[in-house]
């Protein structure tokens, strides 16, 4: 298993996301707005890679590297 495949709890993902409340993560699961998750019975876990992909999909603003004109 790679580090990207490690499963995190909602509490751990809350910390990774800078303190987003666990209740917000639950709401995002309900509305399908948040990172992908894995449900195992009543337990919810998040793969680190899915959380990072979700974070990167929300980056806005200028590209860090300017594009060259053709």
- Output the domain CATH number for residue 50: 1.10.10
Q: What is the pTM of this model?
A: 0.80
Give the pLDDT score at 62.
77
| pLDDT above 70: percentage of residues in the chain | 86
The 8-class DSSP code of residue 17 comes to T
**How far apart are the C-alpha atoms of 28 and 65, rounded to whole Å?**
32
Q: Is residue 61 part of a domain?
A: no
Domain range enclosing 36: 3-56
**Beta-bridge partners for 44:** 39
Q: Report if residue 66 sits inside a domain.
A: no
- Report how far residue 40's alpha carbon sits from residue 27's, in angstroms, rounded to the nearest whole number: 18
Per-residue pLDDT, averaged over 55-63, amounts to 88
Structural domains in the chain (count): 1
Residue 49 maps to a domain = yes
pLDDT digits (tens, 9 = 90+) for 15-39: 999 999 999 999 999 999 999 999 9
Specify the pLDDT at position 64: 67
Asked if residue 69 is part of any domain, the answer here is: no
């Amino acid at each position: 298993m790679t580090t990207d495949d490690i499963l995190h709890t909602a509490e751990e993902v809350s910390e990774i996301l800078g303190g987003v409340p666990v209740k917000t993560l639950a709401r995002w699961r309900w509305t399908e707005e948040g990172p992908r998750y894995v449900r195992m019975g009543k337990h919810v876990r998040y793969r680190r890679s899915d959380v990072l992909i979700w974070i990167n999909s929300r980056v806005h603003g200028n590209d860090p590297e300017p594009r060259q004109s053709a």
